[in-house]
């Protein structure tokens, strides 16, 4: 991502160009996806850590995380600056009307995910919220975010506002049966750069369990919806985004159609790590107790074979061979 960064790390990297490049299909029908992680722990220490792991982007989840505007601002800039532009911040906002959207944009987010986009009209409204009026949008100009010579730097013929309009990706989340029915019209909207599959909510919308148990094949209705999403994206040259770490290995073939892939989530990784560490420690202690029984048993056998507190019974009786002296002397006596 570093080669897609703007004039300053205060500004959003060109995620639009990165997505377009990742969505190119080679002669074997494969893509070179961008990899990201979901951030649900809204803490700057977490942001500093994930920013140096080699991810292309970090998705800050302001939809399902208790996060305020000041913290969101700090998290975005922490990711951008600590990674030195190698990782960009993407924010999932609660809605197109959320007050957090303006803060995310002003802080330098390179992409905005809009959840539950069900119609083309909602997709068009989302695009307008992200773009300045130069590009037909309605985004408000922030005098606090654009500081002369510091955050508003731009190459000749450009401005910070036009750079933002060029660089910031609009991602619409498709997660209902209604959205799937309208997905072709949604994909037609100019300024929509990617469609994100919201698998859990889509399953619920289809009347299916929100999670498919491991080893259980996906329901054909779910696959039919995914295939329709893929077809619309391919028809209108729109990149696809999804969560991969919950996908069954046997059903992972459709992932090759996705150009933005979420490989992990901090909260899921913590739960998995804690469970694995707990199980490993219990097994270590179980094995340690078994080893102790072997040691105790060995020592008990030693007692039975004439050992008392580590000494032979002969020594305790004063009859050790090394204590015998020549000429009939024993322990110094004649």
**Rounded CA separation 47/45 (Å):** 5
- What DSSP letter does each residue of 157-195 carry, written as one string? T--HHHHHHHH-EEEEEE-SHHHHHTHHHHHTSTT--EE
**Rounded CA separation 211/203 (Å):** 8
Name every residue whose Cβ is closer than 8 Å to that of residue 303 and which is 6 or more positions away in sequence: none
Q: Does pLDDT of 290 surpass 80?
A: no
N-terminal to C-terminal alpha carbon distance within the chain: 95
pLDDT band with cut points at 50, 70 and 90 for residue 324 = very low
What per-residue confidence (pLDDT) applies to 253? 74
Token reading at 292: 């102790």
Domain covering 2-265, topology: TIM Barrel (3.20.20)
Residue range 92-102: mean pLDDT, rounded: 97
Tens-place pLDDT, residues 50-63: 999 999 999 999 99
**Residues 227-260, buried b or exposed e (16+ Cβ, 10 A)?**
eebbebbeebebbbbbbeeebeeeeeebeebbbb
């Amino acid at each position: 991502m570093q080669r897609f960064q703007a004039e300053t790390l205060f500004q959003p990297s060109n995620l639009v160009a990165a997505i377009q490049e990742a969505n190119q299909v080679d002669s074997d029908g494969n893509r070179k996806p961008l990899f990201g992680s979901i951030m649900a722990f809204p803490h700057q220490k977490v942001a500093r850590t994930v920013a140096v792991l080699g991810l292309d982007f970090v998705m800050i989840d302001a939809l399902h995380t208790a996060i305020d505007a000041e913290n969101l601002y700090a998290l975005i800039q922490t990711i951008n600056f600590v990674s030195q532009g190698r990782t960009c911040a993407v924010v999932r906002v609660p809605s197109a009307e959320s007050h957090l959207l303006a803060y995310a944009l002003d802080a330098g987010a390179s992409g905005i995910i809009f959840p539950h986009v069900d119609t083309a009209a909602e997709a068009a409204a989302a695009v307008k919220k992200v773009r300045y009026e130069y590009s037909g949008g309605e985004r408000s100009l922030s005098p606090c975010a654009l500081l002369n010579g510091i955050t508003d730097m731009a190459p000749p013929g450009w401005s910070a506002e036009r750079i933002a309009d060029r660089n910031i990706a609009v991602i619409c989340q498709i997660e209902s049966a209604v959205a799937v029915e309208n997905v072709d019209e949604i994909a037609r909207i100019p300024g929509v750069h990617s469609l994100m599959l919201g698998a859990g909510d889509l399953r619920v919308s289809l009347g299916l369990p929100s999670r498919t148990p491991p080893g259980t094949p996906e329901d054909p209705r779910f696959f039919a919806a995914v295939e329709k999403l893929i077809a619309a994206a391919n028809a209108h040259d729109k990149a696809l985004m999804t969560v991969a770490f919950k996908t069954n290995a046997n059903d992972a073939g459709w992932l090759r159609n996705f150009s933005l892939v979420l490989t992990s989530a901090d909260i899921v990784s913590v739960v998995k790590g804690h469970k694995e560490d707990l199980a490993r420690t219990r097994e270590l202690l179980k094995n340690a107790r078994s080893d102790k029984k072997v040691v105790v048993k060995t020592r008990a056998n030693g007692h039975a074979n004439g050992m008392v507190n580590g000494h032979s019974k002969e020594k305790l009786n004063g009859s050790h061979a090394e204590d015998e002296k020549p000429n009939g002397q024993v322990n110094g006596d004649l």
